[in-house]
Structure 1
Amino acid sequence: MKMKDLFAFYDGRVNEFESARKKVAGSKVTIGWLRLLVFLLIPLSGYLLYPDWKIIVPIVIVLLGVFLWLVSRFTDLSEKHAFYERLVAMNQAEKAALRKEYTAFDSGSEFSDPGHPYAIDMDLFHKNGLFAFLNRTATRSGKRMLAQYLLQGSKDRKHVQAVIEDLKHKTDWRQKYLAASRQEDEEMEEAAERWIQFPVKKMRVIRILRWVLPVFSLSSLVFWQAGVLSDMQFILSLLIPMFLIGTRLKETNKILFTSSKAGEKWKSILFRLNELEKCEFDSKEMQVFKEKLLQGENSSREALRRITRLIDLADYRLNMLMGIVLNIFLAWDFWMQTLQMDWLAKYNSDFGKWENDLAHLEVWICAANYAHNRQDLTYGRLEGSQIQTERLGHPLLSPDETVYNDFQASGETAFSIITGPNMAGKSTFLRSVGVNLILARCGFPVVAEQFVMPDLLLYSSMRTTDDLSSSASYFFAELSRLRFIVDAIERGEKVFIILDEILKGTNSIDKEKGSAAFLNKLNELGAKGIIATHDLSLCRLGDESSAFQNLYFDSIIEKDELTFDYKMRAGVCQNMNASFLLKKMGLT
């Protein structure tokens, strides 16, 4: 799909969901007024019919039932309204992303780690980096899982590829699945964690009282209506369940208030599972995934359906009037507490597994969204010892601005030495290789017509900074990074190394000798990689050994103007532009 077609596609979805949102908003207002009217009728009926309590009580009970139904209906409409709001925002964010504006998407900065083999050099968690570019996750667990994929890769890339191919054309379902999630905040996360960890108690006395007290209260109501009990006797009989429930109020509130806050998370997961049920998948991988989560009486969906219903019922007591009536006649708190404990005893050990499965699905949706928005993609093959890429580009550049390059290296080639003037495209090419290798290791599509590389771990040294807090010089910091890479090789890791102008912190003679010696050591250790350098003396390695090959980018100076074609060629660069640029900018 071309860029203008993508803009039109997302524009259409914004208009569709905005129209649906306005329709739901109208229904929500109507139900809101009806809810208020019924609530006002409760005290009004008591006032008009007083003192005929035998008529007042049944009418109040009926009105409370109608009120509860309207509250439930209003809640459903509020959920639907928020759902469409999220869909509108989602498609507006996609339009912004096409313009390279990723502010709507978390950059994952908390996952940035200077000690990681490549995270900093490859701009994974920069505000306009790869994480923000891919990130469409709706939950904290999904965000953490996406970071894990980018930092570690996937163990089952074929599975991921099959799922992405299944999901990339299901934009409507992908977006509705993500929109079904609620915004998770720290308070919700902490409440969910506390509630899952509540010790499960048997509560034998409460289990008996939850049956006995309603029978006692309702019998008292019947006897009062029949004239067997006087008004005072009836009132005194109602104080008994209130007293017994009140003795457990502190513990009950702790459980039910915590579950009420945690319930927002359970509902979010349940809504996503409901969306999962609606989609018919083509791949066997997604069919099995769906069946695992949805089928059977003890499936995650059935379990979450039970607990969210229990939490909704427990929340009715938050209204003081409702709480009093429900506890007097139905021992509501005791029922809610014991039923929630029963759920915990059965399912609390499974919750982490469900959340982990759905976090993987969020990551697959992110990758499918990326695959939907670009057409110049393929799946990488990580195999063998040769490098064979055709029309390789950087994923963060749009197809219209991408200059594609081919890159090959035989199985004998340990290092490709890339020379070229400033701004000619060396660093961008290094990151194109690195970022696409990261994507391939995740099982995600890469920007290439063909992408075949050895299945190696990526290590890089491109951005080194000094550390004044530890009195570490730039040169020492750079040596520490190179030591970090060598340590990985020496402990048996098979690595692909990307280096950009190493040993910048020393003089030119030291740099020349040290760089050549380091590359020879890496070759002896069996490592493969790429290095970009301005040091043309390193290119002698390519003349002396088949373990090294020389490639270059070039610039064109014509009529006092400097231009670049950003195309890589075989050989050694002969044109440098630093002196030209200094003169051009009036610095010499």
Structure 2
Amino acid sequence: MIVALKEYEKRKTKYNLLLKKQEKRMNSLSNLRLAVFILGFVILIRMYTLKFYLIFDSVVLVMIILLCYLAHLHKNIENEKKYIAALKGINETSIKRLKGHWKDFQDTGEEFVDENHNYSYDLDIFGKVSLFQWINTCRTYVGRQRLKEILTKKPENEQIIHDRQCAVTELGAKIHFRQRLEAEAKIICNDKQDTKELFAWIKEKNDYILKNKIIWILRVLSIVTGITSLTLIVRIIDYVIAVLLDTSTSAPKIFYIIPYYIPIFFILVQCVILRIKREDRMKNLIIAEKYNYSIKTYRNMLKHIEKHKFKSKYIIDLCKTLYDNDAKSAYKQIDTFSKICESIVSRRNTLYPILNSILMLEYHWTISIEKWKIKAGDDFEKWLVIIGELEALCSIANIKYDNPHWSMPKIVAGASMITAKNMGHPLLGEKRVCNNLNIEEPYQVALITGSNMSGKSTFMRTVGINIILAYAGAPVCADEFCCTIMDLYSCMRTSDNLGQSISSFYAEILKIKNIVEASKEGKKVLFLLDEIFKGTNSKDRHTGAMILVKQLSRTGNLGFISTHDLELGEMANDKDSKIKNYHFSEYYRDNKIYFDYKLKSGISPTRNALYLMKLAGIEIEENNEDE
């Protein structure tokens, strides 16, 4: 962690210095542009007064070229500055994450919160102070969606996890690649823009516009109209200059050969043609303009990805799709598409209506889009899947880089089991207390008792969140960790749902029903149950809990159940019992209560509810306390 912190601070300092240099360059260029304009203006006035019209025209041309070139340089430096600022911001964010200030990050994944999911709501995978908020560095919609899928779906087999682990290990060491990929997306960030509409649009084909006869007619007509209109425009400009300077027209006679009504006629014809199926074309142009920035982002990210050589088989196989299209890379294909979309954005220019009526730009843009769809449209979604996968893997790889002392878990086949050494909750930072764990045959249920606030729920969340990290291919917060692939279910947070007329107790019953049904289907289930049946009377709670524990332990599942019902622990004494008792305890010093949050074997020997009531000011009689 110290090594990572030093690296982030070094990079932050480096990019801060580069930013200052870029600002100086931009200021110098701005001053130079102003100087060129003033000097050129002075020369123009002088040449005009001396009637050196040829020199006057030459200076105008030189000024335009020079100012355009300086403007181009200024734009490039401005883009570089944005890129450097993004890299600086990434390192600042990384420093905050390491120092425990990640709870202030804006992207919490709140839209992914699902109270009905098997475990994500109970284990704080999304939302404020969540796993997603801590690890996410995805800046595109596809990346965030892919990270969400990885954190909420069980991998199919051990090989998938192993492949991810190899990819995460490689990417963890590639800090340059990870930060540059994030910076490319951060510059033009649009991470909430859904891609479904974009994918559907690219799959649509409008073949009518691609008929050779139509294309040739449109091209020839545009060229003829463009040339004839140019003569008309030159004549108009020549006339305006002549009036302003009080001289005769000076344009070459060639521009006066074509009568003015010919270009006007062609323009009128094209205006009529532009009305044909205009709604279809406008849909194309509107969507292209809407997703212009996203497409530009994907282009830049693909360019960065294609520059790198990878060693892990998982990433190599993933990136093969980038070169499947006629030996032309995905970046080059999407670069062509990006340029088309960027030119379409120019519709917002005030001169667009005039240019469109002369050149029929709408048709030519539509033709270009449809040709691109046919050539590369079928691969577009595959390319974005690669971007999303690499973004998600880079988010996970940050864990590997920031926490080099965490271990890569072993994923094994066979009977359900979890073993861990010094396992802690990854989100608790320095406050975490680590515990050892060994749950495997013949035991299948860990029954955890203990007093209030002793750490039972936190421990179960620790198990759950480390299992999720293990399945994601990430290192886990433990010195050693081994487990099998299981379907994770939890029932830890339940609340009344007034909209659906569901009480918290019934909501708990529905969650437990899902666990029981999954068990009956023969799935390997890992369940985390916190204070089951707490919404009913003590007798029914005890009876129901005993029946449920026996049923779940008979199916060959693996699970953790926390309870205040100490009598449940006696089930471990039954013949052939698959239940193992654990507990958390407290101790008292100077009339204060303390917790060590250490997992111990056996049933809890202590209770603290009455003591806590006393602290709250509730008067407890001694004889009642003894009872």
TM range (shorter): 0.7 to 0.9
SS of residue matched to 1:526: coil
Cα distance in 1 for residues equivalent to 2:269 and 2:406: 67
Q: Who is 1:164 aligned against? A: 168
* Residue segments in structure 2 that go unaligned for 5+ positions in a row: 235-249, 620-627
Alignment deviations for residues 18-59 of structure 1 (CA, whole Å, 9 cap, x no partner): 3323333444556667789999999x999x99x999999999
Shift of 1:127: 0.5
Change (3 A) 1:303 1:31: farther
Q: Who is 2:546 aligned against? A: 516
- Counterparts of 1:439-518 in structure 2 under 5 Å? 439-518=469-548
Alignment deviations for residues 512-554 of structure 1 (CA, whole Å, 9 cap, x no partner): 2221111011122332201111111011111224411111111
Change (3 A) 1:480 1:334: closer
Q: Who is 2:223 aligned against? A: 214
One-letter amino acid matched to 1:572: I
Residue of 299, 303, 315 corresponding to 1:270: 299
One-letter amino acid matched to 2:22: V
- Counterparts of 1:125-524 in structure 2 under 5 Å? 125-155=126-156, 156-181=160-185, 182-184=188-190, 192=198, 196=202, 199-200=205-206, 201-202=209-210, 204-211=213-220, 213-214=222-223, 217-218=226-227, 229-231=254-256, 233=258, 235-236=260-261, 238-239=263-264, 242-249=267-274, 251=278, 255-293=284-322, 297-315=327-345, 318-321=348-351, 334-383=363-412, 384-385=414-415, 386-398=417-429, 400-524=430-554
Q: Does 1:576 align with 2:607?
A: yes
One-letter amino acid matched to 1:202: L
Alignment deviations for residues 351-377 of structure 1 (CA, whole Å, 9 cap, x no partner): 111111211111100000111111332
SS of residue matched to 2:82: helix
Conserved? CA contact 1:378–1:446, under 8 Å: yes
Q: Who is 1:104 aligned against? A: 105
Change (3 A) 1:466 1:230: closer
Conserved? CA contact 1:391–1:405, under 8 Å: yes
Q: Does 1:88 align with 2:97?
A: no
SS of residue matched to 2:460: helix
Task: Name the % identity.
Answer: 28
Q: Does 1:24 align with 2:32?
A: no
Cα distance in 1 for residues equivalent to 2:461 and 2:259: 80
Change (3 A) 1:102 1:211: farther
Shift of 1:256: 3.9
Conserved? CA contact 1:28–1:78, under 8 Å: yes
Cα distance in 1 for residues equivalent to 2:596 and 2:307: 49
One-letter amino acid matched to 2:14: E
SS of residue matched to 1:562: strand
Conserved? CA contact 1:241–1:331, under 8 Å: no
Instruction: Single out whichever of 245-254 and 516-525 deviates more from structure 2.
Output: 245-254
Conserved? CA contact 1:10–1:94, under 8 Å: yes
Conserved? CA contact 1:294–1:301, under 8 Å: no
Residue of 523, 526, 535 corresponding to 2:565: 535
Conserved? CA contact 2:36–2:67, under 8 Å: yes
SS of residue matched to 2:258: helix
Residue of 559, 562, 565 corresponding to 2:596: 565
Cα distance in 1 for residues equivalent to 2:56 and 2:230: 13
Shift of 1:430: 0.4
* Residue segments in structure 1 that go unaligned for 5+ positions in a row: none
Instruction: Single out whichever of 246-255 and 277-286 deviates more from structure 2.
Output: 246-255
Question: TM-score normalized by structure 2?
Answer: 0.82
Cα distance in 2 for residues equivalent to 1:424 and 1:558: 16
Cα distance in 2 for residues equivalent to 1:73 and 1:310: 23
Number of residue equivalences: 583
Conserved? CA contact 1:458–1:495, under 8 Å: yes
Conserved? CA contact 1:389–1:407, under 8 Å: yes
Change (3 A) 1:63 1:477: same
SS of residue matched to 1:388: strand
Shift of 1:507: 2.0
SS of residue matched to 1:377: coil
Q: Who is 1:10 aligned against? A: 8
Query: Based on CA coordinates, which of the two structures has the bigger radius of gyration?
Result: 2
Cα distance in 2 for residues equivalent to 1:539 and 1:38: 87
Conserved? CA contact 2:525–2:558, under 8 Å: yes
Question: TM-score normalized by structure 1?
Answer: 0.87
Cα distance in 2 for residues equivalent to 1:67 and 1:283: 49
Q: Who is 1:115 aligned against? A: 116
Cα distance in 2 for residues equivalent to 1:53 and 1:232: 25
One-letter amino acid matched to 1:177: L
SS of residue matched to 1:408: strand
Change (3 A) 1:242 1:184: farther
Conserved? CA contact 1:191–1:261, under 8 Å: no
Cα distance in 2 for residues equivalent to 1:339 and 1:37: 42
One-letter amino acid matched to 2:418: I
CA RMSD of aligned residues (A): 3.8
Cα distance in 1 for residues equivalent to 2:334 and 2:201: 14
Shift of 1:9: 3.1
Conserved? CA contact 2:203–2:378, under 8 Å: no
Alignment deviations for residues 173-226 of structure 1 (CA, whole Å, 9 cap, x no partner): 211111101211667858845752554232543444325643675589799999
Cα distance in 2 for residues equivalent to 1:260 and 1:30: 34
